[in-house]
Amino acid sequence: MNLQSLTVLQSILLLKSLILRTYYRLKAINRYIKILFVSALDAVPELVSILPDVKTTNDIIKKPVALDDFIMAVKTALVQ
């Protein structure tokens, strides 16, 4: 049985170091964990540039987000 781990982080934090520290701690616990970032900030390019496994905008959800779009993003992350 293949269990998927997913964490959704609301990145209200502007400190890159705190975002990186949280990301690496989660990856240290489970290197296969999938992490979705949710942010009201237009920080997609910055997050993609500082986080090694975040390569597409599918990993970052821009708020406000409709419930159906959020559910679809979670489903997409779990099948990747």
- pLDDT reading at 79 higher than 80: yes
Give the number of residues written for the chain: 80
So what's the pLDDT on residue 2? 47
Look up residue 9 and give its two tokens.
Answer: 């982080």
Local confidence band at 1 (pLDDT 50, 70, 90 cut-offs): very low
So what's the pLDDT on residue 32? 87
The domain limits of the chain are: 6-79
Q: What is the pLDDT of residues 16-70, one digit of tens each?
A: 778 888 889 988 998 888 888 888 777 777 777 888 787 777 788 888 999 999 9
In the chain, what is the greatest distance between 2 CA atoms, to the nearest angstrom?
Answer: 38
Local confidence band at 71 (pLDDT 50, 70, 90 cut-offs): very high
> Rounded to two decimals, what is the model's pTM?
0.74
Q: How far apart are CA 28 and CA 38, in angstroms?
A: 21
